[in-house]
Amino acid sequence: MAGVITVAVVDDDRMLLDGMRCWLRQEPEVRVVAVAATVPELLAGAAGGPRAHPAAVVLLDLVLRDGSLPADNIRRLRAAGSRVLVISTVPDRHRILAALAAGADGYLTKDNDLPTLVTAIRQIATDGSAHSPELAFACVHDDRPERPQLAPRELQVLLDYASGLTLKSAARRAGITPNTAKDYLDRVKAKYQRVGRPTYTKTDLARRVREDGLDP
């Protein structure tokens, strides 16, 4: 069906897998095409026949009982052609940042409701990343010395603008005026300047986003 986002779920909790499949069945724009307990199991199924294709978005439990490393799982799924939304029980900022650095496109805790999950899936499928409270929390509290402390709105405008949107479009998406969006970007540039990473142009902003794993 045109416009339908294919989704796979990787989680070793069978009850959650069955619940997620039933839950997402309510959403006409989302179709669950596979569930698996591990990433190798999912990828083996995707390679198992001529009609099998990787899902557009994979919902990946952060910690699986097979002992696999989250970063390795994320990289394997990205290499297979899927975008990755990490789901976890806790908003641990160090794990969030590590997941983003490995290539995850978003991070949600499992206590979010269905509309929030579907919105994140849609954002990742269409825009390449999901702006979630968990992501904002991690980035705002990222205390590494080379990383500027960005406010949530600054981060949102930075990601949208650096992804290719015009300043006006980024402002519209954030629900603010273009002048306010420009103020946010000027603050971002000033914060990068203060940590010794000068950032002058849109290309520079996009490079900083990539370097910091904010929008893989």
Determine the Cα–Cα distance for residues 12 and 16; give it in Å rounded to an integer: 8
Q: Which domains can be identified in the chain, with CATH numbers? A: 5-132 (3.40.50.2300), 142-211 (1.10.10.10)
Cβ atoms of 75 and 103 within 8 Å: the answer is yes
The pLDDT, as a whole number, for residue 50 is: 42
Phi, psi of 141, rounded to the nearest 5 degrees: -100, 15
pLDDT, residue 11, reads: 92
Q: How many CA atoms lie within 13 A of 206 on its CB side?
A: 8
107-146 pLDDT, tens digit each:
888 888 888 888 889 888 886 666 666 666 666 556 566 6
Residue 209 amino acid letter: V
Q: Which helix (H) or strand (E) holds 107?
A: strand 106-109
Q: Pick from 143, 144, 184, 139: which is nearest to 160 by CA?
A: 184
pLDDT at 17 over 90: no
Of all residues in the chain, what percent carry a pLDDT higher than 70? 83
Using DSSP's 3-state secondary structure scheme, residue 8 falls into strand
Given a contact cutoff of 8 angstroms between Cβ atoms, the answer to whether 33 and 82 are in contact is no
